[in-house]
Amino acid sequence: MHDFQLDFFHNYFVTINELTKRIDAGFLERTVFAIQEARRYSRKVILVGNGGSSAMASHVSVDLTKVAGIRSVNFNEADLVTCFANDYGYENWVAKALEAYADQGDVAILISSSGRSPNIVNGALKARELGLRVVTLSGFDAENPLRTMGDVNLWCDSKVYNIVEMTHHIWLLSIVDYLADAKVS
């Protein structure tokens, strides 16, 4: 391997490692508490994102259910997304899906790397209106709108999509693994 390649990969992994460690553990604890409360009161966790964040939402949702025993869903069905986007506009499909599927006391985990995706921002507004606990994950600019909309707001200080998404994914899977360990203990 050339030095450039070694340097690129080394720096890439160091960056993700540093960003994952920068999170205030209190934010992760508050997210765990919200999810545990949802389980305690027979509520569910709903995860939503776009693109890579959508794939992450699907992965984390399945792991919450299978590994941690917490009822969880995600909105990744093509027919749901395209129907609601067609009928209500792409910027409103998440809000309309939450309106149709969420129950008061559920936890909505809303993911947008930029923190500016209109469908996710509108989903956060609707989630608050419906009485859901809201956890947001965003990156890019510290002043992005999504970062102020949750009960817990996890923010990654990077402007690189894959770095932000991988950091979010690691944080969320660490929460899943914590909840799975707590279930066993």
Q: Which residues of 72-111 are buried (b: 16+ CB within 10 A; e: fewer)?
A: bbbbeeeeebeebbeebebebbbbbbbbeebeebbbbbbb
Map residue 182 onto helix, strand or coil: helix
Q: Mind listing the pLDDT tens digit for each residue in 48-63? A: 999 999 999 999 999 9
Total of domains in the chain: 1
State both tokens at 53. 């964040």
> How many CA atoms are closer than 13 Å to the CA of 133, on its beta-carbon side?
18
CATH number at residue 11: 3.40.50.10490
What does the alpha-carbon distance between residue 56 and residue 59 come to, in Å, rounded to a whole number? 5
Q: Mind listing the pLDDT tens digit for each residue in 120-162? A: 999 999 999 999 999 999 999 999 999 999 999 999 999 999 9
DSSP string, 58-81: HHHHHHHHHTT---EEE---HHHH
Residue 19 lies in domain: 3-184
Flag whether the pTM goes above 0.75: yes
